[in-house]
Amino acid sequence: MARILLILPDQDQRSALDRILAEGGHRAFQTATAVDARPLIESGQYDLVMLDPELPDQDGFAFLRDLRAGNTRQPIVVLNRYARVATTLLAKGLGASGILTMPFTRGEFFSTIDDAIAA
């Protein structure tokens, strides 16, 4: 069972991913903002972080860059709404461990999580 931090501004999306993760045997923790997420990530208690790049208080890509510059080593999967190659390349260049383009299948979801945690 992995402990996964969901950083998404939309409560409905957080709740849906929380349910899917629970069905897969994982435990999800939720927050909506970068300012709330930073101390949680820095605590080191999560096996994986799932990040929406469209946060209400900070650009998610800037947040990812700051986390990696601060030596955060937990795997971070970026949720990509637009299936743009440029978005994928940007996220990877900033240190994302994986990219999950929405909509996704359950198989893609769990495969991305498993790959990121195993890396």
Amino acid letter, 86: A
3-state secondary structure 70-109: CCCCCCEEEEECCCCHHHHHHHHHCCCCEEEECCCCHHHH
Residue 86 confidence (pLDDT): 87
- Comparing C-alpha atoms, which of 76, 65, 67 is closest to residue 42? 67
Q: 67 is written with which tokens?
A: 């986390």
What is the model's pTM? 0.94
Domain count, the chain: 1
Domain carrying residue 24: 3-118
Return the CATH number at 38: 3.40.50.2300
Structure confidence by residue, pLDDT tens digits, 19-62: 999 999 999 999 999 999 999 999 999 999 999 999 999 999 99
